[in-house]
């Protein structure tokens, strides 16, 4: 049974006080929810403050990125072991805002981050997704497959057990234009079939594949009830307690 997972990516938003208030509101409203696994990913400087608020709740703490080395001369970077030290259980890697723009992270680096995160004991949310140009050129399957191969091919099964996939079409992130439930299902089924080919039916059936891209309370139900959608990675709507709670409440029982 794949338990639904709803993760909030707060990105570079909120003050420390606002982050605490948001975490307090979530703890009060969904802090003891067991049906859905809930993760929040605040900015690095607020991890310890949010950790203190989440203590005693079932909401887990995650980070938005990590470095691929455990320590060393990497000015401004944060290692997976440091994240664990700050109470994180999860880390997002491969987000399109890091694959694209000025950062230009490539699959081989993302693979190193997954390995480093696993070595530190973190669970990983690995994002994959195509741009609008790629979708319009019918390249979605090849783009997704290349990202999966680059990041995961040959990964040992014990590492895969700590990986959750997130299908995040780049054109749907922060735009208000979510993928239709059918579009999400089509790609997420493709991802599960790839997992089956690479790692076998057992791992494919056990691995959660989230959808991300303009998920809101009013579209969450139709997206999250698709057979291969096991939850959501939420950006903008995770900054508003009512909206994030609405998405959590829309998640159906595990599949
Ligand atoms: C994201 O950045 O991962 C995301 C899904 O953002 P939004 O929900 O705002 O589209």
Kindly write down the DSSP assignment for every residue of 164-214, as one continuous string.
EEEE--GGGTTTS-PPPHHHHHHHHHHHHHHHHHHH-HHHHHHS-EEEESS
pLDDT of residue 206: 97
101 pLDDT above the threshold of 90: no
Q: Of 185, 193, 190, 194, which is closest to residue 225 (Cα–Cα)?
A: 185
Average pLDDT over the chain reads 97
Catalytic residue, from 67, 95, 118, 123: name it. 95
Residue found by looking up tokens 């019918």 in the block:
138
DSSP conformational letter for 12:
T
> Which amino acid residue places its CA nearest to atom 8 of ligand 1?
235
Report CA dihedral (163, 123, 96, 141) to the nearest 10 degrees: 0
% residues pLDDT > 90 (the chain):
97
Residue found by looking up tokens 């299908």 in the block:
167
Kindly state if the Cβ of 236 falls inside 6 Å of ligand 1.
yes
Mean pLDDT, residues 108-117: 98
184 pLDDT above the threshold of 90: yes
Decide if 123 is catalytic: no
Query: Beta strand pairing status for 5-9 and 90-93?
Result: unpaired
pLDDT tens digit string along 55-90?
999 999 999 999 999 999 999 999 999 999 999 999
Q: Choose the residue to mutate in 212, 224, 232 for probing ligand 1, maximizing ligand atoms within 8 Å of C-beta.
A: 212
Name residues whose C-beta falls within 8 Å of residue 107's C-beta, 6 or more positions apart in sequence. Answer: 94, 146, 147, 149, 150, 151
Q: Which two tokens stand for residue 14?
A: 């909120």
pTM of structure: 0.98
Mean pLDDT, residues 173-189: 97
Kindly state if the Cβ of 66 falls inside 6 Å of ligand 1.
no
The span from the CA of 67 to the CA of 26, in Å, is: 28
The span from the CA of 11 to the CA of 13, in Å, is: 6
Torsion sign over Cα 211, 3, 248, 152: negative
Q: Of 10, 82, 26, 81, which is closest to residue 58 (Cα–Cα)?
A: 26
Query: Distance from the CA of 63 to the center of ligand 1, in angstroms?
Result: 15
Decide if 139 is catalytic: no
* Three-class secondary structure of residue 98 per DSSP: helix
Mean pLDDT, residues 95-110: 95
pLDDT of residue 121: 98
**Sorting pLDDT into bands at 50, 70 and 90, what band is 102?**
confident
**Sorting pLDDT into bands at 50, 70 and 90, what band is 238?**
very high
Kindly state if the Cβ of 220 falls inside 6 Å of ligand 1.
no
> Which amino acid residue places its CA nearest to atom 1 of ligand 1?
235
Kindly state if the Cβ of 129 falls inside 6 Å of ligand 1.
no
């Amino acid at each position: 049974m794949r338990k639904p997972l709803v993760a909030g990516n707060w990105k570079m938003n909120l003050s420390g006080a606002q982050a605490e208030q948001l975490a307090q509101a979530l703890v009060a409203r969904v802090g003891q929810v067991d049906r859905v696994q809930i993760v929040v990913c605040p900015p690095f400087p607020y991890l310890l403050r949010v950790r203190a608020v989440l203590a005693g709740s079932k909401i887990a703490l995650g980070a938005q990125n990590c470095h691929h080395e455990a320590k060393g001369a990497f000015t401004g970077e944060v290692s997976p072991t440091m994240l664990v030290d700050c109470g994180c259980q999860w880390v997002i890697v491969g987000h399109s805002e890091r694959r694209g723009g000025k950062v230009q992270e490539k699959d081989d680096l993302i693979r190193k981050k997954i390995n480093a995160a696993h070595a530190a004991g973190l669970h990983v949310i690995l994002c994959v997704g195509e741009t609008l140009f790629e979708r319009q050129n019918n390249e979605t399957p090849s783009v997704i497959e290349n990202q999966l191969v680059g990041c995961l091919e040959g990964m040992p099964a014990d590492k895969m057990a700590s990986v959750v996939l997130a299908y995040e079409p780049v054109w749907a992130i922060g735009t208000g234009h979510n993928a239709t439930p059918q579009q999400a299902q089509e790609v997420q089924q493709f991802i599960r079939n790839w997992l089956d080919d690479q790692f076998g039916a057992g791992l494919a059936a056990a691995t959660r594949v989230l959808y991300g891209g303009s998920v809101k309370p009013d579209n969450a139900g139709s997206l999250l009830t698709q057979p291969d959608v096991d939850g959501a990675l939420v950006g903008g709507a995770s900054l508003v307690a009512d909206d994030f709670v609405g998405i959590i409440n829309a998640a159906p029982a595990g599949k």
